[in-house]
């Protein structure tokens, strides 16, 4: 914890910003202009596309679920996360064998107006729109990134793609029985199916608008969600309240409201009202930490931010327990919690040096090298240096945010062990003369360069020559991700945000058939792992399934495929004239339709 003697110095700059907000609360910070309620949100990155089939980042997904409808969503305040019907009238009727899902839509929902519709008036959303929207992910012409969710799982969908992707002849496993009834037939039980129908990838799109706009649909989307896009560029998106959005009152108690967690935020005032509550939503994409922080503390610009890493030492008095500085508590509302995901370093198991070739002698030496590098990794130091000690370090790939997490698992794989690393290298005849070049691939930034410098220091501890440790930055995440998908990165630093609260979502990252360009960036191939994954993937939650999950987790640990992991604890701040409970995790952008201002 920082000495209290440092606080006057550290807070000089920030105090002015806080006082400015305090002095200007009211007139200049008003979010009600000419009777219109305006909320200014911020994100530390920008969406690559607003087309839901390309909603593969938290930023794109957040926008997609506010412009488009999904069949299901998450309860606003419930933790652990819990699904609820959204555009669907209820949860699916499921056949006894778990293969056929029948879903009814709520009637009377319509797309927003667009010239592509008859007379320019948005028509009703139908079951056929859902079928069309899922099929779009499998159309090779669209470049969708979400097909992995349903690939091989819906009867006939892969053959539909192979046979020419004819939307007028949908596969037998994906049918609109009538305007309000959807029938999905699976190739095998898929307990996570309903989760996928709450993701931005499943956002419902109107065929005539997509075909009219073509590629422009990604920047000029039309949906049936709570907001309508007015304009969008690299800096900001402006959205208006959808006047035709269905009238459903908010029951905060059914949504998971708990006084001990949510009291004092004004959420009680929302009970019984019909969302969305604001007239205009602005989402500002501000990647640079200082700019975002300055905009937030001015008091008359953005009204929400996560606390950047370089500001945590000025916002926090204590990390354990989390205690905010009185100036922060006086000026802002706050919430904090562990992310539904984790950061990790990964090896490409198809790399000829660090991966597996099938030659037993080579594979034993490369495994020893990977394990030695993992033993040199100092997670405690990384946590202190970059996460103010707020992160939770855990072994393997099942993070603390899912119910299958095992708090009793040995911490050996995330513990610093320099002597053990040196012994392992010596045992397999690695030395400073024959150690291979170590390339650290990542999106280029000042912060990522700092991560690299720390990694280089770790490797120096096990006598890895400095001239062999090389920084390989990319100008954007897109370029970096492309290199990973093209198997050009032998070692990479990434984060994974869970799509749904089930450890299957992280285990599938290591499933052999999901190799790049799929979600298995590690290109890990282990027949025993794949067999267990396939067995568990058709099982409902149970102690038996959790036991299989734990076996797979241990296999990945034993093979030294990944240096993992750390789940970050994020701090959210928002102005006191905003009524919200923000969540960037699994709930994602769904919370924005419940924001109100005063």
Q: What is the pLDDT of residues 519-559, one digit of tens each?
A: 899 999 999 999 999 999 999 999 999 999 999 999 999 99
Beta partners for 182?
103, 176
Q: Is 126 helix (H, G, I), strand (E, B) or coil?
A: coil
Find where tokens 């794109």 sit.
60
pLDDT tens figures, 349-368 = 999 999 999 999 999 999 99
User: Among 14-23, 114-123, 138-147, 390-399, which is the least confidently predicted range?
Assistant: 14-23
| Confidence (pLDDT) at 274 | 98
Whether the per-residue pLDDT at 132 is higher than 90: the answer is: yes
Instruction: Provide mean pLDDT across the span 155-177.
Output: 97
Mean pLDDT score of the chain: 92
Question: What pTM does this model have?
Answer: 0.86
**pLDDT tier, 410 (very low <50, low <70, confident <90, very high otherwise):** very high
| Confidence (pLDDT) at 14 | 43
Residue ranges of E strands in 425-529? 438-443, 469-474, 491-497
Over its C-alpha atoms, the chain yields an Rg (Å, rounded) of: 25
**pLDDT tier, 29 (very low <50, low <70, confident <90, very high otherwise):** low
Q: Write down the number of H helices and E strands in the chain.
A: 18, 24
**DSSP string for residues in 211-265:** HHHGGGGGTS---SSSEEEEEE-SSEEEEEE-TTS------TTTTT--HHHHTTS
pLDDT tens figures, 196-248 = 999 999 999 999 999 999 999 999 999 999 999 999 999 999 999 999 999 99
User: Among 74-78, 85-89, 278-282, 586-590, which is the least confidently predicted range?
Assistant: 586-590
Whether the per-residue pLDDT at 309 is higher than 90: the answer is: no
| Confidence (pLDDT) at 24 | 35
Q: 341-567 sits in which CATH class?
A: alpha beta
Q: Where are the alpha helices (DSSP H) in 379-466?
A: 379-387, 418-427, 446-460
Instruction: Provide mean pLDDT across the span 428-433.
Output: 95
Regarding the domain delimited by 72-207, which CATH topology (the fold level of the hierarchy) does it fall under? Answer: Dipeptide-binding Protein; domain 1 (3.90.76)
Domain boundaries, the chain: 4-40+245-337+570-597, 72-207, 341-567
Separation of alpha carbons 293 and 284, rounded Å: 12
* Coarse DSSP helix, strand, coil percentages of the chain, rounded to the nearest 5 percent: 35, 20, 45
| Confidence (pLDDT) at 17 | 42
Instruction: Provide mean pLDDT across the span 174-186.
Output: 98
Instruction: Provide mean pLDDT across the span 322-347.
Output: 93
pLDDT tens figures, 371-388 = 999 999 999 999 999 888
Report percent pLDDT > 70 for the chain: 95
Q: Is 391 helix (H, G, I), strand (E, B) or coil?
A: coil
């Amino acid at each position: 914890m920082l000495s209290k003697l440092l606080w006057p110095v550290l807070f000089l700059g920030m105090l002015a910003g806080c006082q400015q907000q305090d002095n200007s609360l009211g007139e200049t910070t008003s979010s009600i202009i000419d009777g219109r309620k305006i909320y200014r949100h911020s994100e530390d990155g920008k969406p690559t596309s607003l087309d839901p089939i390309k909603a593969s980042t938290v930023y794109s997904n957040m926008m997609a679920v506010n412009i488009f409808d999904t069949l299901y969503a998450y309860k606003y305040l419930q933790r652990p996360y819990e699904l609820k019907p959204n555009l669907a009238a209820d949860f699916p009727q499921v056949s006894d064998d778990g293969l056929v899902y029948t879903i009814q839509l709520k009637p009377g929902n319509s797309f927003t107006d667009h010239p592509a519709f008859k007379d320019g008036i948005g028509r009703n959303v139908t079951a056929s729109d859902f079928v069309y929207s899922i099929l779009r992910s499998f159309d090779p012409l669209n470049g969708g990134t979400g097909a992995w969710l349903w690939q091989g799982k819906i009867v006939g969908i892969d053959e539909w793609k192979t046979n020419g992707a004819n939307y007028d002849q949908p596969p037998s496993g994906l049918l609109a029985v009538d305007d309000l009834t959807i029938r999905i037939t699976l190739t095998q039980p898929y307990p996570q199916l309903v989760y996928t129908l709450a993701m931005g990838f499943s956002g419902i799109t109107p065929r005539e608008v997509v075909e009219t706009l073509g590629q422009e649909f990604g920047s000029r989307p039309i949906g049936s969600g709570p907001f309508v896009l007015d304009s969008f560029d690299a800096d900001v998106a402006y959205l208006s309240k959808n006047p035709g959005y269905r009238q459903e009152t908010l029951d905060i108690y059914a949504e998971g409201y708990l006084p001990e967690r949510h009291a004092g935020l004004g959420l009680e005032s929302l009970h019984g009202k019909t969302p969305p509550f604001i007239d205009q939503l602005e989402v500002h994409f501000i990647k640079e930490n200082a700019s975002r922080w300055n905009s937030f503390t001015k008091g008359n610009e953005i009204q929400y931010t996560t606390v950047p890493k370089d500001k945590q030492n000025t916002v926090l008095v204590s990390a354990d327990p989390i205690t905010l500085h009185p100036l922060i508590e006086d000026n802002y509302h706050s919430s904090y919690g562990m992310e539904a995901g984790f950061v990790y370093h990964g090896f490409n198991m198809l790399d000829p040096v660090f991966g597996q070739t099938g030659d037993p002698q080579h594979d034993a030496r490369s495994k020893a090298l990977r394990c030695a590098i993992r033993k040199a990794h100092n997670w405690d130091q990384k946590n202190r240096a970059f996460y103010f000690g707020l992160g939770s370090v855990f072994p393997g790939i099942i993070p603390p945010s899912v119910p299958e997490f095992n708090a009793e698992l040995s911490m050996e794989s995330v513990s610093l062990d320099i002597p053990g690393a040196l012994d392992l290298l010596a045992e397999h005849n690695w030395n400073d003369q024959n150690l291979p070049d170590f390339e650290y691939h990542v999106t280029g930034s000042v912060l990522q360069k700092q991560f690299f410098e720390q990694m280089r220091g770790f490797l120096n501890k096990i006598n890895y020559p400095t001239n062999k440790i090389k920084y390989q930055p990319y100008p954007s995440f897109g370029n970096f991700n492309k290199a990973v998908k093209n198997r050009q990165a032998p070692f990479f630093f990434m984060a994974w945000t869970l799509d749904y609260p089930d450890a299957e979502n992280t285990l599938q990252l290591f499933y052999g058939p999901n190799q790049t360009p799929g979600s298995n960036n590690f290109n890990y191939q282990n027949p025993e792992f794949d067999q267990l994954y396939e067995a568990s993937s058709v099982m409902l939650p149970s102690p038996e399934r959790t036991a299989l999950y734990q076996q797979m987790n241990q296999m990945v640990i034993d093979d030294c495929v990944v240096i993992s992991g750390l789940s970050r604890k994020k701090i959210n701040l928002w102005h006191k004239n905003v009524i919200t409970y923000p969540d960037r995790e699994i709930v994602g952008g769904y919370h924005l339709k419940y924001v109100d201002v005063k």
